[in-house]
Amino acid sequence: MECTVIAETSGNSIHPITAQLVGAASSLGATPIVVVPGGAGAEEAASIDGVSKVISVVGDCFSTFDSGAWASAIASQCSGVVIAGATPIGREVASRVAAKKGIPIIQDATDLATGITITRPIYSGKAVETSTVSGDCVITLRANAFDAAGSDGSASVNVVNQSADISIAVKEAISKASERLDVSEADIIISGGRGIGQKENFSHLEEVADIIGAAVGASRAVVDEWGMPHSMQVGQTGKTVTPSLYIAVGISGAIQHLAGMRSSKYIVAINKDPDAPIFGVADYGIVATWEEAVPALKSALTAL
């Protein structure tokens, strides 16, 4: 099966999801070509197991994110079944590549089987859809849902110079209010909800986060009512996250919040209400007040 993986880059290197995309392609029996938009980390991509060739597409257009320009520059390198990451950039570029080629796109797949049969959550995880595609198509894959390929490969790297007209100009960069890890990038997230009483109490969650290298998230209620940054919001109108560990503190577990975090690998819930819906999705539930549980968590983690 002819297959192309569009690599996800992060600064000057390859984003870890790229090895997961290759792993998924391999599970379908493909030895994919990996296209690296902008060329950052192309050598690293060549070391992923199961890659037939890396095409590093370099051009001026890759200095600004413009999905139209990026798709124009890389589309001719993408053939067969095209696989990208279901990240903000991956989804957008993949959509334009699909539209340019006139082939369907299926976003946010969590499982693939030969055929190709694609499984994806719909209605924010309240149902699951399986569909079959027989021709060429574009599929984006959810982060952490597929096993990553190893890193003992040694594929060749072809550099292609190809740019395209940019139609988006950056006028002003506004830096982040904090240097904290973003919830969509983190492997561990500790989130707070209305149950922690007030905005200032997030400092206690930040202290826990600092011990274990976690990001700090929030429920919609506190983002709206306490003016926390929207970038912290986990849930249906915020971010959908799939970390290895999600710790929910003082979050009751509204259906919209669950939609954003229920596919985390392990979920710990701390809530004083034993009937809170969050316990329905928790692997480890602790019925306790946050005032008692968070300091205990801090000391237990420090003692590790």
Q: Is 301 in the site for another protein (CB under 8 A)?
A: yes
Closest contact distance (angstroms) between CB of 153 and another protein is 27
For residue 116, say if its preceding peptide bond is cis, omega within 30 degrees of 0.
Answer: yes
| One character per residue 264-283, x = contact with another protein (rule: CB under 8 A) | -xxxx-----x----x-xxx
The DSSP call for residue 148 is: P
Stretch that binds another protein, among 27-35, 143-151, 175-183, 190-198 (CB under 8 A): 175-183
Q: Is 137 in the site for another protein (CB under 8 A)?
A: yes
Stretch that binds another protein, among 15-23, 24-32, 148-156, 228-236 (CB under 8 A): 228-236
Tokens 């569009």, residue?
6
Q: Is 1 in the site for another protein (CB under 8 A)?
A: no
Q: Is 163 in the site for another protein (CB under 8 A)?
A: no
Q: Is 53 in the site for another protein (CB under 8 A)?
A: no
Binders of another protein among 82-121, rule CB under 8 A? 88, 91-96, 98-100, 102-108, 117, 121
Q: Is 242 in the site for another protein (CB under 8 A)?
A: no
Q: Is 67 in the site for another protein (CB under 8 A)?
A: yes
Closest contact distance (angstroms) between CB of 57 and another protein is 18
Q: Which two tokens stand for residue 223?
A: 């983002």
- 156 vs 237, which CB is nearer to another protein? 237
The DSSP call for residue 182 is: P
What kind and span of H or E run contains 218? Answer: strand 215-218
- List the one residue out of 112, 158, 148, 157 whose CA is nearest residue 132: 112
* Contact assessment for residue 104 and residue 48, using Cβ atoms and an 8 Å cutoff: no
Torsions phi, psi of 285, nearest 5? -105, 135
Q: Which two tokens stand for residue 78?
A: 């993408």
* Contact assessment for residue 85 and residue 23, using Cβ atoms and an 8 Å cutoff: no
